[in-house]
Structure formats: structure tokens, C-alpha cells
Amino acid sequence: MLAFAGWALGSRWADAGVLMGAAAVPYVVVAFVLGSGVRRRRVHREM
């Protein structure tokens, strides 16, 4: 019973982790694009 409860809790946490990871992907992509765009603009201004 304890093993099953632990497995159920673990799988539930894994599902939550996957969902949170999937939800975070767009934010990571946007942040990366904005960061690279800002860097490029700074380089152009310096030149």
C-alpha cells in the first residue's frame, strides 16, 4: 500500500513537472529571442 501510494504520488509529481516544463517553454523561447535581439542591437549601436 505504501509503495503504491509513493508511486502514485511520484507519478503525480512527474505529471505536474511535465506540465510546468511545457508551460515554461514558450517563456524560455521568448526570453531567449528578446535577449539575443537586445545583444544584436547593442552590437550594431557600438559599430
Selected residue with higher pLDDT from 11 and 28 = 28
pLDDT at 45: 66
Q: For the segment 6-23, what is each residue's pLDDT rounded down to a tens digit?
A: 777 778 878 888 888 899
pLDDT at 15: 86
Give DSSP secondary structure letters for 1-47. Answer: -HHHHHHHHHHHHHHHHHHHHHHHHHHHHHHHHHHHHHHHHHHHHH-
Q: Which grid cell is 18?
A: 511535465
Compute the radius of gyration of the chain from its Cα atoms.
20
Per the structure, the count of domains in the chain is: 1
Tell me how far apart the alpha carbons of residues 44 and 38 are, in angstroms, rounded to a whole number. 10
Tell me how far apart the alpha carbons of residues 11 and 8 are, in angstroms, rounded to a whole number. 5
> pTM of this prediction?
0.47
pLDDT at 25: 93
Mean pLDDT of 18-40: 89
Enclosing domain of residue 47: 1-47
Mean pLDDT of 39-45: 70
